[in-house]
Chains A and B, each alone.
Chain A
Amino acid sequence: ADFPDLSKHHNIMKNHLTPGVYAQLRDRVTPNGITLDQCIQTGVDNPGHPFIKIVGLVAGDEESYETFKELFYPVIKERHNGYDPETMVHPIDLDPSKLAGGKLDEKYVLSSRVRTGRAIRGIPHPPMCSRAERREVERVVTDALQGLPKDLEGKYYSLKTMTDKEQDQLIDDHFLFDKPVSPLLTSAGMARDWPDGRGIFHNDKKNFLVWINEEDHSRIISMEKGGNMKSVFERFCRGINEVEKLIQEKGWEFQKSENLGYILTCPSNIGNGLRCGVHVKLPKLSQEPKFNEILEKLRLQKRGTGGVDTAAVGGTFDISNLDRLGKSEVQLVQEVVDGVSLMIDMEKKLEKRQSIQHLIPK
């Protein structure tokens, strides 16, 4: 009697939530008291679109992935290209010295960015955390950020106490995140008590930044103008490794497992949670009929310059890795670097009215 009506729905959760699975899972609770209904609410409330595949499920806490694995595992498999959490191990590699090349042509590449998320073990995720738990996350992460080395040193701006002037500055820097308006996020409950416990840290050099308590406990971002992805990735790895060390000194850890990698709120972000991308000018290549096919073959994804679900402006695209789970950080950044280099070569050829046929990957 309680089974949701998913007949008009198009999301990955719907593909795997049968009445049988629902009956099996509905009376289970995680150690934090989280239920299946809470995890699927966002997918029930947002039927989705046949052309845009969304997940439709969130993890209320780290244990959700295991407690409700009969649903989470097949969803993960579908979302991450057949990665099977039952049998596979996720590779982690945050050693930037392994990146080959990484300095992209600045005539085309306007900016480079790497982001990921991290969750604090023992505390439920933003959809389900209480106010006290959210404040605890804020405390744990900001304490650690205070101990960062010189070039990563910076300041924390709580959303609650930020001045108007600080707010304007953060918007101009493209740093500020705002209260979620997407129904995908709000119906999962992650906007509760806004802006309590939320804030932004950035270093004085303004190229290393941490969001606290937005969609995940923390989002870590390294970015800079231009095409030096090597430098961006190097700073990213150093920053994350430092933060992990500092929270461990206080007895905390990141949520992580052998088969799922780093654990985050949305199943689409587990593994490394890594989105490595550039803003790149490809006005000619993007008009080519094979553009989408090329992206697919290179395992890349395009977005507008405003981020997810925005439009591209003037032939400038946000190009980033498509995959998350099953490949290491180094592998993914390498794919972006190599793929973008290749696309720049194609753009140059098109500028000279030459063919790019031979450059298209098989």
Chain B
Amino acid sequence: MPNTNTARYTASEEFPDLSKHNNHMSRCLTEEIYKKMRAVQTPNGYTIDSAIQTGVDNPGHPFIMTVGCVAGDEESYEVFADLFDPVIEARHNGYKKTDMHKTDIDPAHLKGGTNMDPKYVLSSRVRTGRSIRGLCLPPHCSRAERRKIEQISCEALAKLDGDLKGKYYPLKGMSEEHQDQLINDHFLFDKPVSPLLLASNMARDWPDARGIWHNDKKNFLVWVNEEDHLRVISMEKGGNINEVFKRWCTGLQLVEKYMKESGYEYMWNPHLGYVLTCPSNLGTGVRAGVHLQIPLMSKCPQFDEVLGKLRLQKRGTGGVDTASEGGTFDISNADRIGFSEVELVQMVIDGVEFLIECEKKLEKGESLESDIKGLKQK
């Protein structure tokens, strides 16, 4: 939290002790870079100290590389490029300062994924985030800005019709009964408890201006003002991720259209793609995944190696940083930038089909050696 006494102390006196730290920020932030960026602020008054606070407060773990810095507004990525560029490059597999991002939200380009075996694929989901240009991001926004984001989002969502027609439920004043319903639907998000999020200041004023919008069919859902301005989620039980993606693309584009009618747009640029709070979500911000029942495959010693080759990531069924239950894993794309939305969902479809084949083989007691050997790095 800034006070304005920066002139009284040198950058050296202020530089954080990162000797025990292990996150992307701590690996990239030198005293030189810190000194240069300490002398500037974004037009909204966001400082380098605020951006790195979460990384300073959360030293991380040698096996789990967290990012360790967040953006307080769209301009953060420019003003503090000397830190964000190397962090992005390290976190996104060598994505360079000069690289251009490709966007493809045309579901017609997707192949397959219409009927993945429901014996293994319990549910399918696609999510992304969006930020509204001109307003500060959750780490830095004021109460008034946050309320404005809620207002703009709700106005746009109110125009959705047909299968996408739905309603907004603010977290503030939600009845216990309704809360339970949303938890059962796996829709409800709660006040962040992760120190990674709390240290970046995004839980301030909870639950003011936070809420959940979902359609009557309960398969298209928008979170307002959690870690990003908007999180847009399409999901359903079973393995038709193609349909999930189609609905997601349609909803996303309609919401953007309606926002533009009111004079607002998403934060986006040709290099970073869609701009979000955490550098790990830049580009497409897409996490497309399934809950996959693979009790045998997940015990296979090469499981992680296979996931790596398929460019997939495993999580527990409670989401990030949770444990899997009964051999059921959340399997999703590992990348966010450098590939288009269609390409990422395609990787999930192809990868999941491969994992199902592996599971079937293991059920029959067959060996996976040749399959794994023949698997090429995507």
Check A194 against B57 for contact (C-beta < 8 Å): yes
Given A45-B204, A130-B49, A135-B13, A5 and B3 contact (CB-CB distance below 8 Å): no
> What's the nearest-Cβ distance from chain A to residue B6, in Å?
7
Q: Are B5 and A4 in contact (CB under 8 A)?
A: no
Which residues of chain A are within 8 angstroms of B205 by Cβ–Cβ distance?
4, 41, 44-45
* Interface: A48 (CB within 8 A): no
Q: Interface size class for chain A?
A: 35 or more
Interface status of B9 (Cβ within 8 A of chain A):
yes
Tell whether, in the assembled complex, residue A192 and residue B144 are in contact, meaning their CB atoms are under 8 Å apart: no
Q: Mark B1-20, 1 if CB is under 8 A from A, else 0.
A: 11111101110011111000
Picked from A1, A130, A136, the residue with its CB within 8 Å of the CB of B144 is A1
B204 touches A32 (CB 8 A): no
* A289 at the B interface (CB under 8 A): no
Bound together, the chains give a CA A32 to CA B1 distance in angstroms of 12
Would you list which residues of chain B between 165 and 201 have a CB under 8 Å from chain A?
172, 198-199
B-side contacts of A129, CB under 8 Å: 3
* Mask: chain A, 48-67; 1 = CB below 8 Å from B; 0 = not: 00000000000011000000
| B53 (CB) vs chain A CBs: closest residue | A192
Interface of B is mostly: loop
Which secondary structure characterizes the binding site on chain A? loop
**Does A105 sit at the interface, judged by CB under 8 A?**
no
Q: Which of B5, B17, B144 contacts A196 (CB 8 A)?
A: B17
B1 touches A189 (CB 8 A): yes
B56 nearest CB neighbor, chain A only: A193
Contacts of B267 in A (CB 8 A): none
Contact A132 B204 (CB under 8 A): no
Instruction: Tell whether A5 pairs with B208 under 8 Å between CB atoms, given A32-B3, A124-B3, A130-B49.
Output: yes
User: Once bound together, how far apart are the Cα atoms of A5 and B143, in whole Å?
Assistant: 10
8 A Cβ contacts from A1-16 to B? 1-5
Contact of A130 with B5 at beta-carbon distance under 8 Å, contacts A192-B53, A193-B57 already known: yes
CB-contact partner of A33 in B2, B10, B53, B208, under 8 A? B2
Least CB distance from A17 to B in Å reads 13
Residues of B within 8 A of A (CB): 1-6, 8-10, 13-17, 49, 53, 56-57, 142-144, 147-148, 172, 198-199, 203-206, 208
Give 7 nearest A-B pairs by CB, closest first. A33-B4, A132-B9, A1-B144, A132-B13, A2-B144, A132-B14, A32-B3
17 contacts between A and B (CB under 8 A): A1-B144, A1-B147, A1-B148, A4-B208, A5-B208, A33-B3, A38-B1, A41-B205, A45-B203, A45-B206, A130-B3, A130-B6, A132-B8, A133-B5, A186-B198, A192-B57, A193-B56
